[in-house]
Amino acid sequence: MKQISIFFLVLIGLTSCKKSKLIPIKPDIVTETTLNDTDDPAIWVNPKDASKSIVFGTDKETNGAIYAFDLEGKIIEEKTIRNIQRPNNVDVEYGFQINDTTQTDILVFTEREKQQIRMYSVPDMKPLDNGGFQVFKDATEFEQNLPMGISLYKSPKDSKIYAIVGRKTGPATNYLYQYELKADSLEIQSNLVRKFGAFSGQKEIEAIAVDDEMGFVYYSDEGVCIRKYYAEPSMGNEEISCFGGEYFLKDIEGIAIATYEHGKGQLIVSNQQQGEFNIFSQEDNTFIKAVNLATLETDGCEVVTVPLNDTFPNGLFVAMNDAKNFYFYDLNNIIPQK
């Protein structure tokens, strides 16, 4: 038995996170811990007072939650959504039109065990979905009906807001479903507008990020590459590129887009088992550099490029850490501002 135990310890060591050789960058803030298993963050910038912005983070388990944190990493209990059945990924969008006179910012997340997505108003955290919107209704296999990744897109053409949703597994084509979120006179609806996106079949697709300014959606085909498509349904379903795979040790995970004017920003992508993040140009997707942010096994990440407070005067980058918490960084520590 002792020899078998030693063998498994060695095996675990070989397959676990490979230590980065880069100098680690320490977080400015480490959040309070969640109950189960952190995964994906989203950042809501308070338009009235940026210092009161909120970081949301999923805690994925049957008794899961969407935690709300202030910029000091403290849990805001009254804005935390609990008793969610395995929430996976989360995103926010601004200016959802409720009716002719009312708008609200929204938070949308996947609830895997109920095969649906949920939609709440921000910052008052009221449900807008009458219990949830079912996704992948036409899936013929159970695991193809389990939502994981999600990202929101607001069209610059007509201000329509879409949810682009991924799943635990799926076909070689049409892996992602794109739903328009729309209010009519009676209720808010989620209407399927297209299916798109290739899948290698090697691992899974979870991380999805949308570049609203440039009109692109990126997602991690975990063992292969970062795939790029148009976010606007009318632009078609042809893949634009499949890039970056050679810079990752194993799994390609969370994607955050640091947006500046005229596409001069960066894509920050988790190199999970290497314990690093790879940074690519937003403009042409070329590799820039890698950074070690001292996180372990990072799944999701998110970024905003606007000043928030004295701790985050250059913007905020948030990364999930495999200790039931999230790390907050001033963006200048990761991408020095010119």
Whole-number Å distance between alpha carbons of 115 and 146: 5
Q: CB-based contacts of 109: which residues, under 8 Å, 6+ apart? A: 58, 66, 84, 87, 88, 89, 90, 91, 117, 118, 150
Asked if residue 255 lies in contact with residue 219, where contact means CB atoms within 8 angstroms, the answer is: yes
Mean pLDDT value across residues 32-57: 98
What 3-state DSSP class applies to 282? coil
| Percentage of the chain exceeding pLDDT 70 | 94
Dihedral, CA of residue 283, residue 90, residue 118 and residue 101, to nearest 10: -60
* Res 16: pLDDT: 47
* Res 185: pLDDT: 73
- Closest by alpha carbon to 87, among 65, 120, 115, 119? 65
Mark 217-233 as b/e (b = at least 16 C-beta within 10 Å): bbbbbbebbbbbbbbbb
Its pTM stands at: 0.93
Instruction: Fold for 20-333, please state it.
Output: Neuraminidase (2.120.10)
- pLDDT tops 80 at residue 13: no
- pLDDT tops 80 at residue 14: no
pLDDT tier for residue 32 given thresholds of 50, 70 and 90:
very high
Q: CB-based contacts of 214: which residues, under 8 Å, 6+ apart? A: 263, 282
- pLDDT tops 70 at residue 8: no
Tens of pLDDT, residue by residue over 250-263, are 999 999 999 987 77
pLDDT tier for residue 5 given thresholds of 50, 70 and 90:
very low
Tens of pLDDT, residue by residue over 263-279, are 789 999 999 999 999 99
